[in-house]
Amino acid sequence: MDKTQINKKKKAIVYFFTYAFLGWALETIFCLVTLGTFLKRGFLYGPICPMYGYAAISMIYFLRKIKSNTISKFFLCMILFTIFEYIVAVVLEALFGLRWWDYSYERFNFQGRISLPYSIAWGIIGVVFVEMIHPRVKKIVEKIENKINLKVFNVLLYFIICIYFLDTVLSVIKYIRM
């Protein structure tokens, strides 16, 4: 493996954790605004929602060739996020017998797992993400990458990965016991 390949993989991991955290923050703020109270969001103990990290990585790589067609980006994001959300809901329910979200109260929902209003929101969020958020985050990551010592970067990255896996294992144990 050449050095460029390794750097791309490490950047993908950095993006995953960045967007998993930002997704958790988005969910938390949304609940705070709509419910008026802090509500712990997500499957894990820590402040990340991996679903957002995986979705962001998917969008970065699937949509990088679509440069100017915002309508295409909107529909692709809407479809990708909706399918992904449905699959995650089914898998989490099958594994743990719990629902982390329920859109049954929404019009145009399917099995309470996905709904048209949220699918449209995912399309909008996806376009904003691809056209505005990720380019800015990419610049910040590149600046940090140029300033930080590679050994320090690697230690921090592996530390975060270990914490993530530990959090995942502890969370799975918690939900299996419920």
Question: For position 164, what pLDDT does the model report?
Answer: 96
34: domain range? 3-177
Rounded Cα distance between 133 and 127, Å, is 9
Rounded Cα distance between 74 and 11, Å, is 25
Question: For position 178, what pLDDT does the model report?
Answer: 63
Helices 50-62 and 3-35 pack at an angle, to 10 degrees, of: 130
Residue (of 27, 123, 30) closest to 77 by Cα position: 123
pLDDT digits (tens, 9 = 90+) for 102-126: 999 989 999 999 999 999 999 999 9
**Phi, psi dihedral angles at 115 (to 5 degrees):** -150, 155
pLDDT digits (tens, 9 = 90+) for 49-94: 998 999 899 888 887 777 678 888 899 899 989 999 999 999 989 9
Question: For position 56, what pLDDT does the model report?
Answer: 92
Write down the pTM of the prediction: 0.83
Question: For position 58, what pLDDT does the model report?
Answer: 87
Report the largest interatomic distance among the alpha carbons of the chain, rounded to a whole angstrom. Answer: 52
The enclosing H or E element of 11 equals: helix 3-35
Rounded Cα distance between 123 and 131, Å, is 12
Given a contact cutoff of 8 angstroms between Cβ atoms, the answer to whether 31 and 2 are in contact is no
pLDDT digits (tens, 9 = 90+) for 23-56: 999 888 988 898 888 877 778 899 999 989 998 9
pLDDT digits (tens, 9 = 90+) for 127-178: 999 889 999 999 998 888 788 888 888 899 999 999 999 999 998 888 887 6
Q: How confident is the model at residue 1 (pLDDT cuts 50, 70, 90)?
A: very low
Residue 4 has pLDDT above 70, yes or no: no
**Phi, psi dihedral angles at 109 (to 5 degrees):** -100, 160
Report the amino acid identity of residue 149: N
> Considering its fold, how many domains does the chain have in total?
1
